[in-house]
Amino acid sequence: MADKPAVGAEEDPISVEVVRDLRLRKTIRWEWKGNQIRIRAPWHLRQDQLDRQVAEIVEKVKRKRARVRARADVDLEARARQINKRYFGGELAWHSIRWVNNMHQRLGSCTTGGPTDGDIRLSSEMKGWPEWVVDYLIVHELAHRRYPGHSAEFWALVNRYPQAERARGFVLGVAFRLGRDEEGWL
């Protein structure tokens, strides 16, 4: 089956691809990637059953993404858009960016895959830090949208931010002062 027309909110369209899979016997398998849900369905499943289950999956993904987006920080979102435009030419995309209170081992994270693909979370422990350090951490997490790991290409992308080395020094100094593992923090 070809992609179905986009569904969902105008600012966050979701396309659905449904594929009949001869290997599947009973259950539907699905995955979320970017703005697309790819669904593999047993070949013998009736169309009305498939349509109902596809609608349920789409609704589940939309609800999850709406909950996350509702918690997104508007100021962080504006900063991320500005940083993306300035250092990455506006080419990177993410779903949401927000402060979280339950992140103590890392300063930030960026999800890849699943219904939460592109959710960037920053530790609220950094709220009082200098803006140029928080901007560096936004740059760091945005760079993970292109390179999931910490490869040479990833660091080249991060180093487009002119204060990257200075901000890393700040983070390492705070980690040292707090007795934290600086590698896990960045």
> What does the pLDDT look like over 9-59, one tens digit per residue?
334 678 899 999 999 998 999 987 767 899 999 999 999 999 999 999 999
How many domains does the structure of the chain reveal?
Answer: 2
**39 vs 19: CA distance, rounded Å:** 6
Q: Measured between alpha carbons, how far is residue 152 from residues 146, 147, 148 in Å?
A: 12, 10, 12
Q: Residue 5: is its pLDDT beyond 50?
A: no
> What does the pLDDT look like over 111-122, one tens digit per residue?
876 656 788 999
Q: Which of 70, 102, 118 is the last residue of a domain?
A: 70
Q: Which domain holds residue 43?
A: 3-70
Same domain membership, residue 107 and residue 59: no
Same domain membership, residue 180 and residue 118: yes
Q: Which of 70, 90, 124 is the last residue of a domain?
A: 70
Same domain membership, residue 55 and residue 103: no
Same domain membership, residue 82 and residue 144: yes
Q: Residue 7: is its pLDDT beyond 50?
A: no
Residue 180, amino acid: R
Q: Which of 25, 53, 70 is the last residue of a domain?
A: 70
Same domain membership, residue 179 and residue 117: yes
Cβ 138 vs Cβ 73: under 8 Å: no
Q: Residue 127: is its pLDDT beyond 90?
A: no
- Which residues touch 66 (CB under 8 Å, ≥6 apart)? 9
The CATH number of whichever domain residue 136 belongs to comes to: 3.30.2010.10
Same domain membership, residue 96 and residue 51: no
Same domain membership, residue 82 and residue 51: no
Same domain membership, residue 65 and residue 157: no
> What does the pLDDT look like over 58-83, one tens digit per residue?
998 888 777 666 655 768 999 999 99
Here the tokens at position 117 are 């693909």
**160 vs 138: CA distance, rounded Å:** 12
Query: Among residues of the chain, what percentage have pLDDT more than 70?
Result: 84
Same domain membership, residue 158 and residue 76: yes
Same domain membership, residue 92 and residue 60: no
